[in-house]
A and B are shown apart, each in its own frame.
Chain A
């Protein structure tokens, strides 16, 4: 019985090697601009002139500039509930998931690798392409039972040049029952 949770993850383990991006290029909500860079640097208290004045995006901001909008003009309303902890509709749709996962209650980033290839500058607009599952390690942790799923993907600029390659691991888990 205790190993049933492992069996539920079998389809995901078997899917390792597959690309779940479906050829989709997910455009970031915002272009790289001076205001966005200033906001990004503020909580870090990061005063490097390359970023503050030179228009160079920090590597750590690439995640931000490939983040899709929560809502966009012409789209359906996403803030549809006044429940205190309601999340906007569709918020999890572009997570790093295969669609084969058993029901889960939690999801967080666990590991990360980044190889920058080209500078990202003010005026650039980034998209996320590819979503290849390259690993799935089942593990029981202090927060629940689930899988560390490792993904590879790329960020591209408006000229379709690859600006960075990423490899990140997400822990997808089901918390202990009450």
Chain B
């Protein structure tokens, strides 16, 4: 009888303990947008590592590609389904939807393991909208001009010859022959048609969403720049997306492209051999700028406002932002957003994902970090940008096919942007 009683009591205790334990184990629903194999591998490894170190936390990934992220989140949150953590780039739209949790109180808490000062200022600023912090950067994206130095050398130039738009035109004239062109432009999709012009705009001291009369001259210069570039851009570029542009660059059908520090991750699967031939420089200076600027953005982590486990989500962000974890994640696709990670250390980590081009990739990492340090400015955050992009691309298509001139483009796009802003 006594034995049975003991056994029943023990069983009860075990059941109670397991119930308490099960209740304490918290599952964080984590929207992760990296869908390439190295990114997925990193995410699986991180989950395993975190759950081992903190057995009471479990991660459940929801994989959503970047292109779908905002749409899916809009639908999920409208239906009251709030994940806890999300990987984000531009937080403008999501913060305007009111679905992101402001992170100022978390980061400014004295016990926070994440400090504002840990990050490159330009990258960190990209997470702030109207003075409110919405995400913690993980990796930094720097934009510039990527040049095939061998194609340049064959035309009798080197990187030092590429300082201004006029220099680029001189080189373009020499490089373009038969069906080889100087400048690749993914003008087929609104997002990329706009981005290229944003990069060029920064090099001439103008934001292409700027409708102020003072910027008119600079703006039209940017549009005229594309008119001048037209003979040196492949005709098929009006239908290109980023993968097409990168493929053309890898096949040496174009010598230069305006893109970002995600270049290696994008071209590696197409042809790793292009990396040793490539260098990144700041986009050459336009006629009205004193010096060129390079826009800097970031990808990082945010908490969804409707999350029921915000504190645990923040705890995971703190863990993700630890020096070593952040460096590992950033090494997959970009540059680290933290300042305290050395180039040697970072290049070594990136070498795990890009073993056969380790040295060449290190050179590119140095290039990008140098651009960020010397020319980097936070990328402007523009509400309703995707709507502006559609209008912009529509006119850029006409400009590139010779059916609209720069002045006509300017008048039309100003009216469109003003109308979108009025909403």
- Whether A associates with B in a native complex is no
